[in-house]
A and B are shown apart, each in its own frame.
Chain A
Amino acid sequence: MILEAVDVKKHFPVAGGFGVGGVRGWVKAVDGVSVGVAEGETLGIVGESGSGKTTLAKLFLLLERPTAGALRFDDKDMSAFARDDRARYRRSVQAVFQDPYSSLNPRMRVQHIVAEPLPRDDGGVAKSERVAEALELVGLKRGSAGLYPHEFSGGQRQRIAIARALVTYPKLIILDEPVSALDVSIRAQILNLLKDLQERLRLAYVMISHDLAAARYLSTKLAVMYCGRLVERGTCDAVYGDPLHPYTQALLSAALPLHPSARRQRIVLSGEIPNPMNPPTGCRFHPRCPKAMPHCRTEEPPWREVKPAHFTACHLY
């Protein structure tokens, strides 16, 4: 495993009104999640807003510190990281964000944007060579380095963002909704590019997405989150082909197929995504679950390997 999270938790304090009055409660954004990703693999993390997938990405990027649990990088615990380890980690793990209109500084030229993750003491020539190399990898011309972001279309901007992630020769790239902000005719270009780069460079990806179709295209493993917890995990084909948890089933049935005659039996969930400050007792999904049983209300379902390498947390199994 390149990166592994073991029972990771991130709880945010909620302050009283106007920052006075102490802590009113805790938002358990990520509440005990274990996932891992190995070389050449893509771990897709899907879930709705508030499920904690972005917080998990922030933990991976060292933008937040976990409240509990361990993160391991190359089998080394990250809480024991020395300064050098941290620097090495930041070079090895890069990110591509959703909206290339806000993730690129409009006042910087492409060459400076792409070179930003490189250490300052790298020589100028070597630096511009690495930038040119990264730009070529993503299918942009070397000459693009002198231009500003506004001179590019949305798809090209996302290519610049990918070049910036590649410039440090990373092992792992966190993709946070990489195509959600792009036009439909451009999405295929970027998804194919990401797939090609993965094959050529043996990259690992963690792809955060609410777009189940895009996640299916890139992912080899899939983890489904609901209200801060993992409800199901397995290989991509297993989870899509035979979803075990009622939430995964509903989520997949709500994703609309691309053909009018392919209308499937839709499970329309009632109710709303619960407030993570005050999650339901027992299984967090029980108030919306069509198959809820009395003890779902009180007992939290254990994490179980229902089929080989296919896990879920549900009392049905």
Chain B
Amino acid sequence: MAASSPLLVVENLKTHFFTRRGVTRAVDGVSFTLDAGETLALVGESGSGKSVTCLSLVRLVPEPAGRIVGGRVLLDGEDLLRKSPGQMRHVRGKQIAMVLQDPMTSLNPALTIGTQVSEVVKLHQGLRGSSLRDRVVDALSRLRIPGAAARLGQFQHQLSGGMRQRVSSAIAMSCAPRLLIADEPTTSLDVTIQAQYLELLKEVQRASGVAVILVTHDFGIVAANADRVAVMYAGRIVEMGSTLEVFDKPAHPYTQALLRCLPDVDLRAERLVEIGGQPPDLATLPPGCPFAPRCPKRQLVCDEAYPSAVNVSEGHTAHCWVAAA
């Protein structure tokens, strides 16, 4: 592959859930690219498909109800969707690593920290003995865990929330992955600890050149940490662009409304602008734009067909009929 090609290319990814109520199109044609060292934020509300997108990238969609029904996921030009389950096991943890929301549940309470970090290193790097131990201590110290060597024999209940999230990030970063998927990594942390963690994540990223997909519903985190942002609604990316562009000139009415309806710490609003209605039911999506029923700029065409991407400016796209006009 040429050096200039992106690290990750996702093309028209579709992941559907087949339930008794019908087909839920959790991810319905998601496409994006990601360069090495870059941070892309996936933002959206619950049910918008951001987590399922991430699970699809590592092929961990809960089966049999959920299935990836189409698209391509190219990591360094290789299609992950065509790999065998055995090959995928070598991708996960080694090339793509994940940090999940709640370290209380993602760490095993019955195993020591040392055991959990060494598990990954042993599997992917085949290290044993003292070199394994050194590697584990190194992985923990890189995430600024004080007294790393002494922590090896500790259990997760002996650590604070922020420390736990560092341990699970140390596990993720231990094999120098190319891509880190961080799914709401700070939702369970306090604000001052969140700030610590996000700073640390940036530092680790600068040092290792890992690409990060940051899943969040918090626009403050996006503004402070992401290079680019993709806004998801009802299983699709409705707007994507550089963080500055999207915050300055949001083109999709959903992004516009979201940015206006949030209270800001810096100024006290007299009244917040509301978005009426509810997020849609993914099993019974209308044929047109799924945001149309809540959209203040709705037109006739919005209910007829889903809009294709419009170039707002260089590298900034939106799926909206009104923005296209």
Contact = CB atoms under 8 A, between A and B. Distances in A.
Interface of A: 48-49, 153, 155-156, 183-189, 191-192, 195, 210, 212-214, 216-217, 236-237, 240, 250-263, 266, 268-270, 272-273
B153 interface: no
A270 B146 CA distance: 12
Contacts of A214: 263
A49 B275 contact: no
Interface stretch (B57-65, B125-133, B186-194, B282-290): B186-194
B190 A273 contact: yes
A270 B271 CA distance: 36
B247 A48 contact: no
Contacts of B161: 49
Given A183-B46, A195-B271, A250-B192, A212 B224 contact: no
B6 interface: no
Given A195-B271, A256-B218, A268 B263 contact: no
Given A212-B191, A261-B244, A262-B266, A184 B278 contact: no
Interface of B: 45-46, 160-163, 190-196, 199, 217-221, 223-224, 243-244, 247, 257-259, 261-266, 268-269, 271-276, 278-279
B220 A257 contact: yes
A217 B268 contact: yes
Contacts of B194: 254
Residue of A185, A195, A266, A273 with most chain B CB atoms under a 10 A cut-off: A185
A216 B274 CA distance: 17
Residue among A251, A252, A254 having the largest count of chain B Cβ atoms under 10 Å: A254
6 contacts: A212-B191, A251-B191, A257-B265, A258-B219, A258-B220, A260-B224
Contacts of A186: 275, 278
Nearest to A193: B274
Contacts of B220: 213, 255-258
The 6 closest A-B pairs by CB, nearest first: A256-B220, A188-B261, A48-B190, A254-B195, A188-B272, A217-B263
Contact of A184 (B190, B262, B276): B262
A147 B77 CA distance: 53
Contacts of B243: 260
A250 B278 CA distance: 36
A281 B268 CA distance: 36
B196 A268 contact: yes
B247 A260 contact: yes
Which of B160, B221, B265 has the largest number of chain A CB atoms within 10 A?
Answer: B265
Contact of B190 (A49, A189, A192, A263): A49
A153 B196 contact: no
A259 B217 CA distance: 15
Contact of A237 (B263, B268, B273): B268
Nearest to A49: B190
A273 B163 CA distance: 12
A228 to B, nearest CB: 15
B282 to A, nearest CB: 13
